[in-house]
Structure 1
């Protein structure tokens, strides 16, 4: 069955990178690309009719420019407009079309996590029936390095499977944040340091065995590197992204954006790379 990617186009200059990535992904995965633009339903009917034609023409012109700029083949494309609340229409279209992925542009208010929760991107992430790709970087090169924060929960396991299924030829790094009780109080004592080193070595062995078991469940998996870093999960991840940003960050979403997901909000407000968020199941 042919895959379908859904790209929500808002016709802005910032949205161009996401459009280019959607075209590239559709071509690489042999998928159909459905491009939609959501119009204000309260516009007069005659205005809407004229606007629909202009919007589709603009999207087609942008597609032509992108293909020429990036030397990309044109995948099967369906361009349409709809009316309503953007986030609700994107989710509805994703359900009705049974799409495999939604592609959106990144959050524009950089460095302001408190403004993320009410955006179209955040609302789509909460209710999307499939992985959502937030694009902030150009599509000039493929995704060769993927970083996946791994806590071995059901959510992160599902994200790992989705990542390997969609991008089997990439280099994948699993990042696990660890912390040892008593580090702040006893870290300078030699006996504690030796105990801590033994505990970390034991943790490394356990997690490597766990990764091996996960990989055994899958076919044709690429080489996977497990990296352990000390600290709180958000601190470890942001430190890694600033020091060594990947091409793509694959992250599991528990559907709590705007309530408890500090990590997701921080990442969307300060994107160091493109981000794919997957459902918990």
Structure 2
């Protein structure tokens, strides 16, 4: 059965990068690309009819420009409009078409994480039946370096498998962050420092064993690196993204340590790279 990618197009200038990436992904994976634009259902019927034709024509024009700009051929694809609430229609279409991935443009209110929660992007992320790509960077660069935060939960294991399945040739960096209790209060105490060093060494050995066990469950594992950093998971992740941004961040939808909402909102408001979010199953 042919794989299907779903791209939700809003015809904005900011949406062009996501459209181009969707076309590239469809061509590289041999998938069909379904492009939809969601119209306001409360418009008069006559206006809707005329608007549908104009929107499809604009999507075709944008597609032509993108193909010329990126020197891309045209994948098997479908351009159409639907009516309704944008996030609800995107989710419904994803279910009905049994799509493998949803591609969306990035959040426009950069630096304002408190405005993310009610956006179409955030609502789709919460309910999507498949991985969701939030694309905000130009599609001219290949996704060669992918960062995958891991806590060895079922969610992060599933995310890693989804990443390996879709990008088998990429270099993957697994990032695990942890807090050592008492560091702030007892960090200068000699006995505590010795205990902390032993605990960190024990944790590193445990994580390396878990990583080896996880890798043994997977076939054709690509170039992979495990990075362990001490600190708050959100701070560690954001510092890593600012210091050494990857081409793509692959994140489980429940995040780390039950802090999905805070981590996701910060990432979407400050997108240092494109982001793929995966469900827990």
Q: Distance in 2 between matches of 1:201 and 1:223?
A: 24
- The equivalent of 1:151 in structure 2 is 151
In structure 2, what is the equivalent of residue 166 of structure 1?
Answer: 166
Q: 1:260 Cα deviation (Å)?
A: 6.0
The answer to whether residue 181 in structure 2 is matched with residue 181 in structure 1 is yes
Q: Residue 97 of structure 2 aligns with which residue?
A: 97
Q: How does 1:162-241 map to 2 (within 5 A)?
A: 162-241=162-241
Q: How far does the alpha carbon of each residue in 1:113-139 deviate from its partner, in whole angstroms, 9 at most, with x for none?
A: 111111000111111000000001000
197-206 or 184-193, larger mean C-alpha shift = 184-193
What is the distance in 1 between the residues matched to 2:223 and 2:148? 14
What is the distance in 1 between the residues matched to 2:214 and 2:73? Answer: 36
Equivalent residue number for residue 75 of structure 1: 75
Distance 2:42 2:92 in 1: 19
User: Unpaired runs of 5+ in structure 1?
Assistant: none
Which digits, 9 at most, give the CA deviation of each residue in 1:137-167, with x for residues without a partner?
0000110010011011111111011001111
Inter-partner Cα distance in structure 1 for 2:83 and 2:169: 39
| Distance across 2 between alignment mates of 1:94 and 1:60 | 21
2: distance between equivalents of 1:195 and 1:226? 24
Are residues 1:53 and 2:53 paired? Answer: yes
1:223: Cα distance to partner? 1.9
Q: Which residues of 2 match residues 132-151 of structure 1 at below 5 A?
A: 132-151=132-151
**1:189 Cα deviation from its structure 2 partner:** 2.7
| Residues paired across the two proteins, number | 278
Structure 2's unaligned 5+ residue stretches are none
TM-score of the superposed pair, with normalisation by structure 2: 0.96
* 1:261 partner SS: helix
Q: Whole-Å Cα distance in 2 between the matches of residues 216 and 260 of structure 1?
A: 28
